[in-house]
Structure 1
Amino acid sequence: MGYKNLEFPIGSRFLVTGGAGFIGSNLCEAILDMGYFVRCLDNFSTGKRENIAPFLENPLFELLEGDIRDLDTCMQACKGIDFITHQASWGSVPRSIEMPLLYEEINIKGTLNMMEAARQNKAKKFVYASSSSVYGDEPNLPKVEDRVGKVLSPYALTKKVGEEYGRLYTQIYGLETVGFRYFNVFGRRQDPHGYYAAVIPKFVKALLNNEISTINGDGGQSRDFTYIENVIEANLKGMLAPKEAAGEVYNIAFGGRVFLVDLYNKLSELLEKDIQPNFGPDRAGDVKHSNADISKAKKLLGYNPDYDFNSGIELAVNWYKFNLR
């Protein structure tokens, strides 16, 4: 795989914020498997204890329960840390429309707290999660980093502000930041429960339970679905990126395009189900089409994703078959 042979300096210490979440717990696992120390910071507002339960007996793993909205907690989390991957945030476009003040506190203030703590503790690299939602109403495909439109949700705005802080912290303070615009990440440990669950685990859960799914709109929306292993590769390569790559944001995807109705049909085929979905209204704040140009990440980070949609979705479905309750 694209990151198995990567090496960091002996004794390197890592911090994963949101380490009990979907992406964060997979990053914790990958770094531990490489033999390095990992500190996980999470307040369990969306992360799950079962995601990190397998690591608790590992002497290289440390759990710090705390909130990124508290600067003292962030300072404690960054103490003695070399590399930071900042995944802690609240996702979901619809929820951000309902709770804009909370998103401001967590995604903007929390991210700024973490960058400041990283700077004061002299971290070598600060990698952080942004989102393809920052492209907003920019209609052209594929999405290219320097061509964005007007954001369509508070969530997207919080991610755009985080990118600007990342650029400034590199430019003004010399903190080497690397931002990732994730495109619809999916895979093991992604939570299928709740109103705001992501579309793939939500569809899988409904199909396994012989329930009817609702597709927002006509199913003609397209997404660049990105398997979790590609995201792990990007984060690790981002932490090893040359200084010239800092202060920038990068599309992290495979570079494909799948329509929602085709996604539903593929999942139905893999799960051997024949249940017709409902079609509901479009979701407020949603981007209609999403497809990434990943040439910048390939050139500057050496990013070279191994998993296309088909290979990733088969692995994800197999995981859900045995782990979904």
Structure 2
Amino acid sequence: MSYRDIEFENDSVFLVTGGAGFIGSNLCEAILNMGYKVRCLDDLSIGKQENVDLFIENKNYEFIKGDIRDYDTCLKASDGVDYILHQAAWGSVPRSVEMPLKYNDINIKGTLNIFEAARQNNIKKVVYASSSSVYGDEETLPKKEGKEGYPLSPYALTKQVDEKYAKIYADLYNLDTYGLRYFNVFGRRQDPDGAYAAVIPKFIKLLLNNESPTINGDGKQSRDFTYIENVVEANLKALKADSKYAGEAFNIAYGGREYLNDIYDILAELLDKEDIRPIYGPDRVGDIKHSNADISKAKGVLGYDPDWDFDKGIKEAIDWYVKNL
């Protein structure tokens, strides 16, 4: 079943935290297209106003500029809301190594504020963004829920803590929480700029500008790249999950495995930039070498059935960047 066929109660209101960000704005768009009301909470520290400007004229859309680190803001933003899709966080492993205090403040305190506000406002379900980084130094492939290792970065630790708080809120307070462990999401509106930009949009922009991207390490590291449409599907299907699974976390990926060197070659070919060769730099501190997801739990429990593989997704992504950069 496509997420477009999912039905919620009439007049349902959804709060999307981090709604002006890459994943958040795609969630806002999908929910609005389904005819429901969306309240977007974002402090625009990472999210961009331009990502949500296209919703301004929609009568079902409301934007609140606010910081999840402020509990009163979270309480007010979630008042009168039925469901919360909590995407607000700071990503990037290397940046977290440089700024551990900020990551603790935003990713842990901010998430705890959302959970507590959800409890006080009797929110029906909270789906929150976790990360494949929670697997840490556990080298077994594919990654499977229940076999987590020791975190390799402050970012990974914040996501592990978020999951533990989610379980506590489910067990102690009967708050329906569901964690989605995203595996290298890519697609439209993902920011290509900055030192901590994700690899795919960064590579695309540099190649379009006839510049050589830098691959950290030898390029033989692998990732389970996941197109944004699959992530939207997972979030909306998690909102329909049976409450007996509250407090649990799920791998959200396609279930494939792509190597960075191959990714580069594919992008160069599709963009007709095969004459541009990459530069190889040092490994990034805190990065895992390989990542590949076992998605059987999400399939069985959530009905998650991703149909956007890497080849299909990368063509859509390139088309968007060519039109919008």
TM-score w.r.t. length of structure 1: 0.99
2:124 aligned residue = 124
After superposition, the C-alpha distances for 1:224-264 in whole angstroms (9 at most, x for unaligned) are: 00000000000000011111121100000000000000000
Aligned pairs for 1:238-257 (under 5 A) are 238-257=238-257
Unaligned stretches of 5+ residues in structure 1: none
Partner of 2:5, secondary structure, is coil
Q: Distance in 2 between matches of 1:167 and 1:66?
A: 26
After superposition, the C-alpha distances for 1:185-239 in whole angstroms (9 at most, x for unaligned) are: 0000000000000000000011000001110000000000000000000000001
Q: Does residue 268 in structure 1 map to residue 274 in structure 2?
A: no
Q: Does residue 143 in structure 1 map to residue 143 in structure 2?
A: yes
After superposition, the C-alpha distances for 1:93-130 in whole angstroms (9 at most, x for unaligned) are: 00000000000000000000000000000000000000
Quote the offset at 1:303 in angstroms. 0.4
1:201 aligned residue = 201
- Asked if the contact 1:167–1:177 (Cα under 8 Å) also holds between the matched residues in 2, the reply is yes
Partner of 1:4, secondary structure, is helix
Partner of 1:130, secondary structure, is strand
2:284 aligned residue = 283
Q: How many residues align?
A: 324
After superposition, the C-alpha distances for 1:143-187 in whole angstroms (9 at most, x for unaligned) are: 001001110000000000000000110000000000000000000
2:112 maps to a residue whose letter is L
Aligned pairs for 1:297-308 (under 5 A) are 297-308=298-309
Quote the offset at 1:2 in angstroms. 2.3
Unaligned stretches of 5+ residues in structure 2: none
- Asked if the contact 1:130–1:162 (Cα under 8 Å) also holds between the matched residues in 2, the reply is yes
- Asked if the contact 1:245–1:301 (Cα under 8 Å) also holds between the matched residues in 2, the reply is no
Q: Distance in 1 between matches of 2:306 and 2:192?
A: 25
Q: Distance in 2 between matches of 1:124 and 1:94?
A: 35
Q: Distance in 1 between matches of 2:177 and 2:184?
A: 22
Aligned pairs for 1:180-199 (under 5 A) are 180-199=180-199
Q: Distance in 2 between matches of 1:137 and 1:271?
A: 35
1:279 maps to a residue whose letter is Y
Partner of 2:3, secondary structure, is coil
1:174 aligned residue = 174
Partner of 2:38, secondary structure, is strand
1:39 maps to a residue whose letter is R
Q: Distance in 2 between matches of 1:167 and 1:306?
A: 30
Q: Distance in 1 between matches of 2:307 and 2:119?
A: 33
1:85 aligned residue = 85
1:7 aligned residue = 7
Identical-residue share of aligned pairs (%): 67
Partner of 1:283, secondary structure, is coil
The runs of 4+ residues in structure 1 deviating greater than 2 Å are none
1:165 maps to a residue whose letter is Y
